[in-house]
Structure 1
């Protein structure tokens, strides 16, 4: 039976409609900022904590919009699935790569089809969700 990682992911867009993506050290796929829940932590609390740890951006849970859950293949771990709580939020601070983040990327959704280095959560769920919303 495959492993399942329970995590939060954040959909953050700038004024040009680009998505904020990150790539962690030693990995090849870009994904939303976020990460695994700590014991007893809610999806929203994990999203807030991870955003500050990874990118130095502070948001309050009240500033998150719940976009639902997604279950699917993990981006960088073989034979592993993710159970992701997905949120969107607005940020005004510039992201600064910290902790395990090696690279930050702003990507317009129209450019996603030209890339092979995007996580399944983004390509299979978030991009179609955004297309349906806008």
Structure 2
């Protein structure tokens, strides 16, 4: 993981060490920056086994690799799904409007629920 992603995860972990009930919110940046936040929150709540992830995105971002790397804007949902405390019942991707066939195949194989953007407007 890049140094910046490690810094984000450390920042969230430091927040939890000061206040155990904090709920972090992250705004801005490449949307892969959300991964270390999700990971740190998940690691914190792992014992309670009650964490789910709702991703609002126009793409599924379920690629295993993108542009020779596993940490990319096109792999965020896959990295979240790879976390051992997130399964297909705890991950929902909402707002997709542009889905590539390889991502759709992964979503179908893993039974990952995704709501297309046109369904959200109905």
Query: TM-score interval w.r.t. the shorter chain?
Result: under 0.3
Q: Tell me the TM-score normalised to structure 2 length.
A: 0.28
Q: Which has the higher helix share?
A: 2
Q: Tell me the TM-score normalised to structure 1 length.
A: 0.26
Q: Which has the higher strand share?
A: 1
